[in-house]
Amino acid sequence: MFLSVEQTVTQTLPQPVVDTADEITITHLPNRTLYETLAAIRRIKHANPTQKIVPHIAARNLYSERELIECCLEFKKNDIETVLVIGGNLKQGRFFQSAFQLCSILKELELRSLCGVYPQQENDQTVKAKKYPSFSGGITQFCLNERVLNEFCSRTRIGVPSMCAATDLYKYMKRCGVLNSVKTALSNTPGIKYLTTKGFDTAKFVSQINNSNFHIYNFGKIESTVARLRELE
């Protein structure tokens, strides 16, 4: 089983997670510059020099092409080979407007790029036809419908919540807009059966997915989540 774990630029993951995750990804939020990602990379490398890191690049959050190029060159100096490119939460970009605008620059810099996959809006055929000619693969954004997730090929890594409390899961769903649409909210109702008094049963959810590549969204209890998923192996 391949496990990647997500963190923000201000978070510090527990050492057991840094040592046992196959990959750590670093988010690029609207109120953070890509330069701040460099400091997070250095902290992870200090904790575990061999850990693989994948920085997120949110196209609409970038302030300039210079910011993109300078940071990517620094990424490469830190042995980073892959980045995750998304559009970003901003409706209007500061410089770039689309993740696709970054593809040619990243290719010139010889960086492999992954993209975000939106299971409630896209299907496997659409992603293969429209995204994977430009990107090496993708990671699904928030979705708790195992039937929908099982429609995607192994080239698409499946994003799953950590074993967080129901209240934390609800807060994230509200923040990321999952609850803004009745249709989207209803499509995630199959995930309710994985909620327990101890929190979301990530291991049980993962056992229903026909894929061996997973990305853990860190909503809390990340250390116990990674340990439990490693037990499944």
Closest alpha carbon to 33 in 95, 112, 125, 101: 95
- Return the bridge partners of 217, or none: 161
**Closest among 164, 160, 113, 125 to 140, alpha carbons compared:** 160
Give the separation between CA 149 and CA 175, rounded to whole angstroms.
22
State pTM to two decimals.
0.92
**Which token pair is 48?**
């575990």
Domains belonging to the chain, first-starting first, are 2-232 (3.20.20.220)
Average pLDDT of adjacent 10-residue blocks, the chain of 233 residues: 96 97 97 96 96 98 97 97 94 94 96 95 95 97 93 94 88 65 64 89 95 95 96 86
How far is the C-alpha of 164 from the C-alpha of 202, rounded, in Å?
Answer: 9
At 142 the pLDDT is 87
Amino acid identity at 107: K
Q: Residue 43: its pLDDT value, please?
A: 96
| Residue type at 142 in one-letter notation | F
Cβ atoms within 10 Å of 40's Cβ, excluding its own: 21
Go through 7-39 and write b for each residue having 16 or more CB atoms within 10 A of its CB, e for each that does not.
Answer: bbbeeebeeebbebbebbbbbbeeebebebbbe
Instruction: Output the pLDDT for position 181.
Output: 55
How many whole angstroms separate alpha carbon 114 and alpha carbon 56? Answer: 9
